[in-house]
Amino acid sequence: MKKSDEVLFGTNTQQTPHQLISRKVQCHHDQSVDLETQPVYLSTHKHIESHFLTCFVSLVIARLLVRRLKGKYSIPVLMENLRKAACSHIEGNYYLFDYYDEVLADTGKAFGIDFGKKCLSLGAIKKILGKVKKG
């Protein structure tokens, strides 16, 4: 495992037991408080596994985003601002993006997306999504 992966996933074997416990508590805090998780009552093994996998992937993506932005913003700040980044249909083929802030600007710079554009056509939006999917 690379050193950077150890930092991301909290698996550094050089840590003391106290540091490992503190890291575990922080991970739990990130997942339960910051991501606003609530108890979910699932009865089948398949549903439990699916729910766990979805939560785990979401947490990994959130941590990768924090890392890509060099820790400038916490998970809750990023999630709150990304939720606000929405668009409204104006007319015809055009959409209005009515929220923009420093967090979205920094996120856009990290991924090569200009969140500052106020009005985009559906074709331009699809082009951006295609570019993001290709990496």
| 2-24 tens-digit pLDDT | 555 555 555 556 778 777 777 76
Instruction: Tokens for 132, please give them.
Output: 């993001």
- 15-50, pLDDT tens digit by residue? 787 777 777 677 666 665 555 666 677 788 888 888
Q: How many CA atoms lie within 13 A of 48 on its CB side?
A: 5
pLDDT of 1 above 50: no
Instruction: Tokens for 101, please give them.
Output: 């802030």
- 104-118, pLDDT tens digit by residue? 999 989 988 888 888
Question: CB burial class (10 A; 0-12, 13-18, 19+) of residue 115?
Answer: buried
Q: What is the pLDDT of residue 116?
A: 83
